[in-house]
């Protein structure tokens, strides 16, 4: 299975090697003592609950680093729904290698599938509305590219990847610049000086800041901790103006409240919980022989 185009292969290998060094250290003493070096085995990674699988290509790369002689076959595609007892990965080869790589492979797969599963659940809840579900930068340091990839496999969309690919003016920027309008002007002036075109979003916390942002000509306005009724009011205001600015609801939005926000007609809903509060998807490796 090929590595997705957005995942840089050298970065992936370095990340997996670091994870294996952390777990194996000076050696897998238990496995070396209990499993003969020449012993062969067939094993499967199976789902233990209903959800969305993600990360088979990563597990293949990881087991290849453990033992290039292992035969590894992913049986489910990223983003595919799975049910209890479904096999997602099969392995054949040295039993020692399979058991030694087990925990690290499962750690990645369970997090990745957990993100994809949660994102799919949220997207399904609002599927009748024309709204995008987005992630945030609240990801595991060093693993952001994986976290954000998994969001897309659950049907969600990526917000900016980092500080470099979009200007997002948040409350501290506003405070330090002396107001919403001033912050926006300074960003536009900076981009003009650099000769760059970049999307600009501004976070607003009050109706007054919202009105100032609308008249400042940004691409997106993030309505931070606005109630459902306040978001709906903002949506109607922009519609009446015929403005092209896109509105984003954000701030402690949960699976319980996301549908109410989607009903407002807002264009985007960003949820940090997609990646910062992941429930691991239950997977297990079973040695059959």
Determine the average pLDDT of the residues in 30-39: 95
Domain boundaries, the chain: 9-123+278-287, 166-271
Average pLDDT, the chain: 96
Which residue, chain included where needed, has tokens 């992913």? 74
Q: Count the alpha carbons within 13 Å of 149 in the hemisphere toward its beta carbon.
A: 23
Q: Measuring CA to CA, which residue among 212, 204, 255 is closest to residue 230?
A: 204
Q: Is the dihedral of CA 133, 138, 144, 146 positive or negative?
A: negative
Residues 6+ apart with CB under 8 A from 175: none
Strand order across the 87-94 sheet: 71-74, 87-94, 40-47, 283-287
Domain 9-123+278-287 annotated CATH 3.90.1170.20: yes
Residue whose entry in the numeric block shows the structure tokens 């400042």: 216
Residue 90: which residues within 8 A CB-CB, separation 6 or more? 42, 43, 44, 45, 72, 73, 75
Which active-site residues does the annotation give?
Answer: 103, 138, 170, 203, 224
Bridge partners, 195 (sequence order): none
Furthest-apart CA atoms within the chain: distance in Å = 74
Per-residue pLDDT, averaged over 18-36, amounts to 96
DSSP state of 190: H
pLDDT at 24 exceeding the cut of 80: yes
pLDDT at 1: 76
Nearest to 232, CA basis, from 259, 256, 264: 264
- How many Cα atoms occupy the beta-carbon half-sphere of 167 within 13 Å? 20
Q: Is the pLDDT of residue 289 over 80?
A: no
229-278: pLDDT as tens digits: 999 999 999 999 988 999 999 998 999 999 999 999 999 999 999 999 99
Per CATH, the architecture of 166-271 is what? Alpha-Beta Barrel (3.20)
| pLDDT confidence of residue 263 | 98
């Amino acid at each position: 299975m090929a590595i997705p185009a957005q995942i840089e292969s050298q970065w992936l290998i370095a990340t997996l090697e670091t994870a294996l060094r952390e777990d194996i250290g000076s050696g897998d003493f238990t496995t070396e003592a209990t499993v003969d070096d020449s012993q062969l085995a067939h094993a499967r990674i199976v789902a233990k609950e209903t959800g969305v699988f993600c990360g088979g290509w990563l597990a293949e790369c990881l087991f290849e680093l453990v033992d290039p002689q292992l035969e590894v076959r992913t049986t489910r595609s990223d983003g595919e729904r799975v049910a209890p007892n479904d096999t997602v990965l099969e392995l054949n080869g040295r039993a020692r290698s399979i058991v030694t790589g087990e925990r690290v492979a499962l750690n990645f797969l369970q997090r990745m599938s957990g993100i994809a599963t949660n994102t799919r659940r949220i997207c399904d809840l609002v599927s009748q509305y024309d709204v995008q579900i987005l992630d945030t930068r609240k990801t595991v340091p060093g693993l952001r590219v994986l976290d954000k990839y998994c969001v897309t496999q659950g049907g969600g969309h990526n917000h900016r990847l980092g500080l470099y690919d979009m200007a997002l003016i948040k409350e501290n920027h506003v405070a330090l610049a002396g107001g919403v309008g001033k912050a926006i002007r300074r960003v536009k002036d900076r981009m003009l000086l650099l000769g760059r075109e970049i999307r600009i979003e501004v976070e607003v916390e009050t109706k007054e800041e919202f009105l100032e942002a609308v008249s400042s000509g940004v691409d997106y306005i993030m309505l931070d901790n606005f109630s459902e009724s306040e978001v709906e009011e903002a949506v109607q205001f922009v519609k009446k103006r015929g403005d092209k600015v896109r509105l984003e609801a954000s701030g402690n939005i949960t699976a319980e409240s996301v549908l109410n926000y989607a009903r407002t007609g807002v264009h985007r809903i960003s949820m940090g919980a997609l990646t910062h509060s992941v429930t691991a998807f239950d997977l297990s490796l079973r040695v059959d022989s």
